Amino acid sequence: MRAQYDKEHFRKHSLPTPFYPRMAELSQDSSWHCWKGYLSADYFENVELEYFAIRNACSVMDLSPMSKYRIRGQDAEAFFDRMVTRDMSKLKPGRVGYSVWCNDQGKVVDDGTIFRFGEHDYRLCAYERQYEWLMISSAGFDVDITDETEGVAALSVQGPTSFAVLSKMGLSGIETLKPFGIVHFPYHGGKLMVSRTGFTGDLGYELWVGGSKALTLWDELFEAGKHYGIRAIGTHALDIARIEAGFIQAGDDFTPANHTIRKDHDRSPFELGLGWLVHLDKPNFTGRRALIREKEKGSRYRLVKLDIDGNKPAHASYIFHGRKKVAGVVTSAVWSPTCKQNIAFASLEVAIDDPLNDLWAEIYYQRELQWNRVWQRCRVHDEPFWSPPRRRATPPGLF
């Protein structure tokens, strides 16, 4: 399979997504970054306001750069069941499942969501590019794999008023859509797919259309949402929300195994706190043998959610045991505006059943170019920092 680029593709490093014309109008400072080859907004106007759109109203984020693959064929279920750690026979048509997948050494290649459209029809949505890994994993299976990244435009619509906005748009029936459900609507001669999924830990949906309908969707969505506090957001705001929600991010909280150069710099699902996704009772999946061994022998690392004293975000801080022995390092950290907590994820080199008390973060922060250091006590948090009941309510409330 070849991608449809012509020789001129070099003229811009990052390509615009189908929503770019609208986003460019909103972007006050033209602050963009490259997300897998596409222009993605850091923010449009103000990170704080955008963050509160997620938690208070309705946020819209362009998800189009996500790597999207369509997997179709008789063996599609068996293919996924062998590739990912989760038991895929439990994922019914019309449902979405989150999973990780590993290499033979049981280290995480990537995480992502798997959409089951029909008996033999799936979409995989991943952060990293996975085409080659899908091809490698497909040997022996009757499946057809196509890259849909370019053709499918997607918006993440998240926040307490998101249901109201979509209802206002006329997407009737959406009230019965449960978390991780999928529903399809005819849309201006094409199709609109809505899944009740997201990366914010809040009530929210993701909308998927063909690229040609992207601007229509944007316009209709914003028209419907104008009385519901709708606001376009960039990745900075999302990053706060996803840490509150307890979602890890490839490249931040772990290095995908296929990109790891140094030994032991990759991570197993157990080491990322994703043991609940690993179904070792399946007869075969890639990484199973190594994960069984790891389960027997114990993991080397564990990823924990930390509630840290004070209000200085512990970016890249070392975490110590009793302020003496290095236990690990913070991978993501943020001040949670909703929880009013100083939260972080940290990867600790600690046996899985070791007690985690007396943890301290050594935090550096800057004031007027002056660097200061504080020690703050950390408490391990088992649950997500933020998980409101509205996230699961069906039908959801309007606000």
> What 3-state class would DSSP assign to 368?
coil
Helix (H, G, I), strand (E, B) or coil at 259: helix
Coil, strand, or helix at residue 129?
Answer: coil
By C-beta, is 142 or 175 nearer to another protein? 142
For residues 76-95, one letter each, b for 16 or more C-beta atoms within 10 angstroms of the residue's C-beta and e for the rest, the string is bbbbbbbbbbbbbeebeebb
Among 59, 137, 156, 162, binds another protein (CB under 8 A): 137
Our finding on whether 322 is near another protein (CB under 8 A) is no
- What distance, in Å, lies between the first and last C-alpha atoms of the chain? 46
Does 3 sit near another protein (CB under 8 A)?
Answer: yes
Residue 285 binds to another protein (criterion: CB under 8 A): yes
Which of 41, 83, 88, 192 forms a contact with another protein (CB under 8 A)?
Answer: 83
Q: For another protein, which residue of 72, 95, 120, 129 counts as binding (CB under 8 A)?
A: 129
Token reading at 135 = 């091809």
* Contacts to another protein from residues 10-49, by CB under 8 A: 10-11, 13-14, 34, 36-37
User: Which amino acid is located at 328 in the chain?
Assistant: G
Nearest CB to another protein, comparing residues 51 and 101: 101
Q: Is 297 in the site for another protein (CB under 8 A)?
A: no
Closest separation in Å from C-beta 42 to another protein:
17
| Options 21-29, 160-168, 284-292, 339-347: segment touching another protein (CB under 8 A) | 284-292
134 within 8 A of 124, measured Cβ to Cβ? yes
> 274 burial class (0-12, 13-18, 19+ CB within 10 angstroms)?
buried
Among 27, 40, 130, 268, interactor with another protein by CB under 8 A: 130
Task: Pick one of 30, 139, 353, 366: the residue that binds another protein (CB under 8 A).
Answer: 139
Per DSSP, the three-state class of 270 is helix
Whether the bond between 65 and the residue before it is cis, its omega within 30 degrees of 0, is: no
Residues 245-264 that bind another protein (CB under 8 A): 258-264
DSSP H or E stretch at residue 108: strand 108-118
Establish if 288 lies at the interface with another protein (CB under 8 A). Answer: yes
Interface residue list for another protein (CB under 8 A) = 1-3, 5-11, 13-14, 34, 36-37, 75, 78-79, 82-83, 103-105, 129-133, 135-137, 139-141, 147, 258-264, 283-289
